[in-house]
């Protein structure tokens, strides 16, 4: 099954991840995370598939995160509330997110990508 690659084209980390996927000849469908922000339901699904806490899906270094004091908003928020907040602004989402429908990764680390997407 081809991968789905949620990214923001101006993001340096996303560009590195895309280059890695291309170099390893993995097929994927690109989704612009701001123009086609995942829904709350899609985010809940990705969170579950990643095995990570919902807080790991926030782009903590982003302008939206800092300007809206998201750190305080999510301190005691449920996963559902965090997913709704993420779905409200694609710039809040840590990227890239890659999924094959069974697993999901957030961010880009070569070792993680090799392990998850190449089975190494």
**Rounded Cα–Cα distance for residues 63 and 4 (Å):** 25
CA 50 to chain centre: 10
Predicted local confidence at residue 33, as pLDDT: 97
Number of domains into which the chain is organized = 1
CA proximity to 94, closest of 57, 64, 47, 51: 57
pLDDT < 50 stretches in the chain: none
| pLDDT score at 1 | 65
Residues spanned by the domain of 32: 3-118
CA distance 70 to 32: 22
Name the one residue in this structure whose structure tokens are 């559902």.
80
- Most distant CA atoms of the chain, gap in Å: 41
* Cβ neighbours around 105 below 10 Å, total: 23
């Amino acid at each position: 099954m081809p991968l789905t690659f949620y990214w923001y084209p101006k993001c340096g980390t996303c560009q590195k991840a895309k280059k890695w996927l291309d170099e390893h000849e993995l097929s994927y469908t690109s989704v612009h995370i701001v123009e086609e922000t995942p829904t709350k339901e899609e985010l809940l699904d990705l969170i579950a598939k990643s095995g990570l806490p919902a807080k790991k899906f926030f782009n903590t270094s982003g302008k939206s995160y800092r300007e809206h004091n998201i750190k305080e908003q999510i301190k005691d928020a449920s996963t559902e509330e965090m997913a709704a907040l993420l779905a409200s602004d694609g710039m809040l989402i840590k990227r890239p997110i890659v999924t094959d429908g069974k697993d999901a990764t957030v961010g880009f680390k070569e070792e993680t990508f090799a392990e998850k997407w190449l089975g190494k």
